[in-house]
Structure 1
Amino acid sequence: MPKKILIIPSWYPNSNNELVGTFFREQAHLLNANGFDIKILFGVENEVGLFKYLSIRLTQLFSKKNDLNKTYLKQAPEAFSFPIYHYKKWPEKRQLKSSKQKYQQAYKAITTLWQPELIHAQCSAKGGIYAHYLSKKNNIPFVIIEHQIFLLNYYKKYVQKGIRDAVENASKIGAVSYHQQRCILMNSMDCNPTIIWNLMDESKFEINTKQTNTKFTILTISYPHLIKDTETFFRSLEAFQTICEDNFEAIIIGNDSFNDSSKANSFYFETLAKKYNVHDSCTFYPQLTRAEINTKLQSCHVFVSTSVAETYGVAVREAMLCGKPVIATKSGGVEDSITEETGVLVNLKDAKAIAENLLKIKNKELVFSPETIRNYIIEQSGRDTFIRTMTDFYNEKKS
């Protein structure tokens, strides 16, 4: 019988934003088809006014139906969402306590006919906190794979404690890069994180053997946050513009609309492009489908990442699956996959070095094998490797 795994993600693709947490769903989907019985449970938290909160509570008290929903989250595997309503003037500590209780209610509802053998939290905040609570209430082991930047001081003290308790009491902890492993341990966590590189599904990306774009094309995928250091990207374009004799195109994909994709825009990126006098060489896409991103990756000549910190670097590796060389800052997670045969690493904020290496790639002073780049990623974290790694992670006892 397939092992039953309940996944508690910290975010997940939904009807408001189908791209957020896409890799969580893709990993779960692959595992569900290869030896595991996977289900997803995710609470959607909302802050409301007093009258609305009281009205909702009264309705819930007199209703015999549960609030589980299979239309909000993207399906395959089976994914259940449920609403969590907080009175907006509650302190965050009370909200967290209420959320834990709602997770327990939802857990009881989905386990009437299906009982998980293991709970898997995707990220410690706050999926790990909820998984730990469910584990204690129902006497079921849980594991955590940490995906986001691990900075305990970012959270309030009671959340820090919740994260620490979850990490140190989990059956196993996974980290998506050696950088991430180091960050967890630097917070004095009593654990031994296993490296679990994210799934890079080679079936969704391929090498374009007929490069039709003659204009040298640079691509980046980002969002407006200091951790992405997009300003360095535009400074590098400005520097490249001064040393490149030919016209080039820079494609910038991304926005800051995480909760509602209908509000996606490129205003932040366009402002920086104008500031560094490269706007005329740039094309902006606030949001693209996965298929459209694949097409853009296949048409570019090089992918650039200027992040200050990357826990893993999904976009970087997707470009590499398309056989594209990468110029990336030494931001942590990406360093596990970039070698002299697959790309170039530069120091943080070094726009000049990025520009110089862009010119070398354009002039074919630096030449890379697309097949070598792609195969490196497949061997490290392709479908077969990911299934084997996760099978060991789910089945091995705590180290």
Structure 2
Amino acid sequence: MHVLVVPSWYPTTEAPLEGIYFAEQACCLQAHGMEVGVVYPEQQSLRRATAGALRRKHFQTEWTTNHGVPTLRRYGWNVWWRFPPGFRLRIRGAVRLARRYVDRRGLPDVIHAHSARWAGAAAAQISDALGVPYVLTEHFSGFLRGTMWPWRRPLVDRGLRHASGLAAVSTALRDVLRARRGAASEDVAVHPNPVRASFFTRPPEGRPSPPPLRFVTVAGLNPRKNVGGLIEAFARAFDSSQAAVLSIVGDGPRRAALEAQARRLNVADRVDFRGQQGRAGVREALWNAHAFALSSRHETFGVALVEAMATGLPVIATRCGGPEDIVTEETGVLVPPAAPTALAQALCTMQEQRAAYAPGRIRAHAVDRYGPEPFVRRTQSLYRHACTI
């Protein structure tokens, strides 16, 4: 089967981890025998427009092979990309790229849009132009947060309503889509994201022995991830104790404020800001930890949770949407979002009871539900259904 992927966000030279899971999913499908290609009209914010970036990207169209998958991009810069002109430009650009894609690689059997944020409407237009069905997988946390701008709704609803197959990455997101007025309300499947189980493995040489107990989080340093709530909970749980340390992998606009918070709470010597890491760096941080913590206010899924579990780590997560599908009594603990006292208690409990969690069972749960094979089966079923309607 030949699949053309249209992602709403995707890795770029300037932001190599943005939408990395879309690229890894395309690679996974290709590795399991499908013919896969990607079209992506980049419209990056001028905030990233360094002299070098402008030399490399000047509105040209280029074939690349990102992550081993043929990808046709048009590079662009648009200060209005978050507003109606930018979205319309992206949709028109995606249709033009799809036509050029077909000229070189032939007509796909199905189009797969990731998120109705704008790619759903683009896929609907490509579908009309090429006479090919499209499916849509929704990932966007704005549905859970209720932060969809009114002018976006017609575009979003068009992408949802006309899809021949519709999936969401978690039960919470599925329920929001089902309740959405004017969008398709039936047959919304739950298709969680996959984990690279062959990459995120248990540490080959074992983990360092505590003490201290090493907690880790992998998150963007922005308000939605609420890393400040985790630092506060860590300070409450361990106060002046040297029994535990916390590694924070990620970067973002809140970093300076979070570092100041750690100093103010007198835990700066036990909170390590690791900054942005590549995939190997994330894996190394997970291998060196004893437990994983996620303190988000909203998550449509929780890729970082599943990656941590694939390495055998027990997890602590907030009930913020996606984690409720992922975390079981056998794999970790769920706490309310934005509740530092409950999170602090969970950190203390994890310190006391970590040995009760079986790393092999945690990894098996992650791989059995989120590994490549179940992901490919679910996706193939979605495609077959779309092609037979």
1:157 aligns with 2:150: yes
CA contact (8 A) 1:251 1:283 kept: yes
Range moving further from structure 2, 22-31 or 227-236? 227-236
**C-alpha spacing 1:386/1:213, structure 2 compared with 1 (3 Å):** same
CA contact (8 A) 1:84 1:99 kept: no
Match of 2:51 in 1: none
Distance in 1 between the 2:251 and 2:318 partners? 21
The equivalences for 1:224-243 within 5 A come to: 224-242=221-239
Match of 1:109 in 2: 100
Match of 2:72 in 1: 80
Which residue identity is paired with 1:178? T
**Runs (5+) with no aligned partner, structure 1:** 49-59, 61-65, 258-264
Match of 1:358 in 2: 347
- Tell me how many residue pairs correspond in the alignment: 371
TM-fit CA distance, 1:12: 1.4
**C-alpha spacing 1:108/1:305, structure 2 compared with 1 (3 Å):** same
Range moving further from structure 2, 297-306 or 220-229? 220-229
Which residue identity is paired with 1:76? G
Distance in 2 between the 1:104 and 1:153 partners? 29
1:252 aligns with 2:248: yes
For residue 223 of structure 1, the aligned residue among 217, 220, 223 is 220
TM-score, normalisation: structure 1: 0.86
Which residue identity is paired with 1:252? I
Partner-residue secondary structure (3-state), 1:124: coil
Distance in 1 between the 2:163 and 2:75 partners? 26
Match of 1:341 in 2: 330
1:130 aligns with 2:122: yes
TM-fit CA distance, 1:90: 10
CA contact (8 A) 1:38 1:78 kept: yes
TM-fit CA distance, 1:367: 1.5
Partner-residue secondary structure (3-state), 2:136: strand
For residue 207 of structure 2, the aligned residue among 192, 208, 211 is 211
Distance in 2 between the 1:370 and 1:210 partners? 11
For residue 141 of structure 1, the aligned residue among 120, 133, 139 is 133
**C-alpha spacing 1:130/1:110, structure 2 compared with 1 (3 Å):** same
TM-fit CA distance, 1:312: 0.5
For residue 191 of structure 2, the aligned residue among 171, 192, 196 is 196
For residue 373 of structure 2, the aligned residue among 384, 387, 394 is 384
Distance in 2 between the 1:255 and 1:170 partners? 35
TM-fit CA distance, 1:47: 7.2
Cα deviation code 1:279-331 (max 9, x no counterpart):
11111111111111111101111111111111000001111111111111111
For residue 168 of structure 1, the aligned residue among 137, 161, 167 is 161
Distance in 2 between the 1:90 and 1:102 partners? 13
CA contact (8 A) 1:200 1:381 kept: yes
Match of 1:182 in 2: 175
TM-score, normalisation: structure 2: 0.88
**C-alpha spacing 1:148/1:364, structure 2 compared with 1 (3 Å):** same
**C-alpha spacing 1:89/1:366, structure 2 compared with 1 (3 Å):** closer
Partner-residue secondary structure (3-state), 2:135: strand
CA contact (8 A) 2:63 2:73 kept: yes
**Runs (5+) with no aligned partner, structure 2:** 47-57
TM-fit CA distance, 1:199: 0.8
Distance in 2 between the 1:290 and 1:335 partners? 25
1:119 aligns with 2:111: yes
Distance in 2 between the 1:120 and 1:238 partners? 45
Partner-residue secondary structure (3-state), 1:246: coil
Match of 1:51 in 2: none
Q: Which structure has the larger Rg?
A: 1
**C-alpha spacing 1:353/1:46, structure 2 compared with 1 (3 Å):** closer
Sequence identity percentage = 24
Match of 1:17 in 2: 15
TM-fit CA distance, 1:81: 0.7
TM-fit CA distance, 1:241: 1.8
Partner-residue secondary structure (3-state), 1:143: strand
Distance in 2 between the 1:363 and 1:101 partners? 56
**C-alpha spacing 1:275/1:91, structure 2 compared with 1 (3 Å):** closer
Distance in 2 between the 1:331 and 1:219 partners? 19
Distance in 2 between the 1:227 and 1:238 partners? 20
